[in-house]
Amino acid sequence: MKQSKAFVSFDLLFAALPLLLMVSYLATVIVFATETADSSLHSNELTGKLSTIADYLVKRGAVARQAQENNYLGTATYRPNVIDDYYLGQFENNKEEIQNWMDLKSLEVSWEPKEGTCVYRLVLHNNEVKKLYVCGE
Amino acid sequence: MKTIEAIISMMVLLSFASLTLIQVPQAEPSLHKYQLAEDIWRIAYLKGCFSQSMFNEKFSLDSAAITSALESKKGADQAIISVMERSLSTAALADPTDEMEECLNPLFDEINQQTSLNIAFDAPLEVAAGDSLPGEEAVVIHKALVLNGVPQRVALKVE
């Protein structure tokens, strides 16, 4: 009688072991999938933020402009994609504020790629075609 | 027992299915390519590749000849006719598409060297409205240009 109970326990053990292994494998896959999805979402979100900043820079923030004659409420004629060093410098001064708004750890705007995720836009700088990089984390 | 087997089979299937889904390559964001395509178009415009001034120059030179002919008052009518004929023949020979491509090709080469983007310009566009040019991964933007006084649809393809 005792012998048969022991056999039943072993039988159960061997039956449960693959089941447990499968459950743990499934749990690992779910964790991995969640982490990948999170990472992908974060990456897309970061790229989106950097693209938005880059778009603002090439259309408004760092472009050459000409104030209108009446200068009504600071209105000006903007030249998209024509980068002016003075306004690019001004953006650098306000960089921290934008970084906080966008909830970024770091933000760099330069003519060369920096650390972190980077997006670039094609611009004219001193009548030369150049890549303006916006990098951040 | 069969129920347990079915549950186990389902779990294995689900785990492999989820693993396969994770490994599906993500589609490349095309928004950035659209932005780059718009940048290229804008730069080409700023570089004067779509300017009609190069065609107008010929007429302005000839109008100067007309003025001088009128001032000389000697055979003015004949001079005006010959100058107008030359102007018209020059205008007929000048293909704005060729001149535009002369300006665009070096610019596209320069951008290609910097970005490794392949750029193609198609004018006038020969595909129907809403269609895209060949190349599944390419981003195509459509614009309108006045060529020989006629508005025509053109396409800029970036891939």
Q: Tens digit of pLDDT per residue, chain B (159 long)?
A: 677 778 778 777 776 776 666 665 555 557 888 999 999 999 999 998 887 544 444 444 455 555 565 556 556 566 666 665 655 555 544 566 777 888 888 999 999 988 888 888 876 554 444 444 445 577 888 888 887 778 888 888 888
Average per-residue pLDDT for chain A:
85
Q: What is the pLDDT of residue B129?
A: 44
Q: How far apart are CA A88 and CA A94, in angstroms?
A: 10
- Asked, for residue B17, whether it belongs to a domain, the answer is no
Task: Tell me: pLDDT of A133 over 80.
Answer: yes
Cβ–Cβ gap B15/A22 under 8 Å: yes
Locus of tokens 């891939």? B159
Which of the given ranges, A43-47, A93-97, B88-92, has the highest pLDDT on average? A93-97
Q: Tens of pLDDT along A4-43? A: 666 677 778 777 888 888 888 888 888 888 888 887 777 7
List phi, psi (to 5°) of A52: -65, -45
The residue-averaged pLDDT of A39-66 equals: 87
Q: Are B114 and A131 in contact (CB under 8 A)?
A: yes
In a domain, B91, yes or no: yes
Q: Using alpha carbons only, give the angle B85, B90, B91 rounded to the nearest 5 degrees.
A: 100
Q: Could you give the CA distance from residue A134 to residue A122 in angstroms, rounded to a whole number?
A: 12
Long-range contacts made by residues A11-14, C-beta under 8 angstroms, separation at least 24?
none
Class of residue B34 by CB neighbours under 10 A (exposed 0-12, middle 13-18, buried 19+)? middle
Residue B38 belongs to what domain range?
Answer: 31-158
Residue in chain B lying closest to A41 (CA): B26
Inform me whether the pLDDT recorded for A69 exceeds 70. Answer: no
The CB-side HSE value for B72 (13 A sphere, CA atoms) comes to 13
Using DSSP's 3-state secondary structure scheme, residue B4 falls into helix
In a domain, B58, yes or no: yes
Cut 0.90: pTM above it: no
Instruction: With respect to residue B4, please indicate whether it lies within any of the assigned structural domains.
Output: no
> Please, what's the largest Cα pairwise distance for chain B?
115
Flag whether B87 is in a domain.
yes
Asked whether residue B2 is assigned to any structural domain, the reply reads no
Q: What is the pLDDT of residue B89?
A: 54
Instruction: Tell me, yes or no, whether B7 lies in a domain.
Output: no
Q: pLDDT higher for A58 or B92? A: A58
Q: State how far residue A109 is from chain B, nearest Cα, in angstroms.
A: 17
Q: Please tell me the distance from the alpha carbon of residue A134 to that of residue A121, in angstroms, as a whole number.
A: 8
Q: Which three-class secondary structure state does DSSP give residue B119?
A: strand
Burial (CB count within 10 angstroms: exposed 0-12, middle 13-18, buried 19+), residue A49: buried
Question: Which chain B residues are Cβ-neighbours of A33 within 8 angstroms?
Answer: 18, 21-22
Number of domains in chain B: 1
pLDDT value, residue B23: 62
B81 in a structural domain: yes
Nearest to A55 among B8, B11, B35 (CB): B35
- Residues A106 and A116: their CA atoms lie apart, in Å, by 8
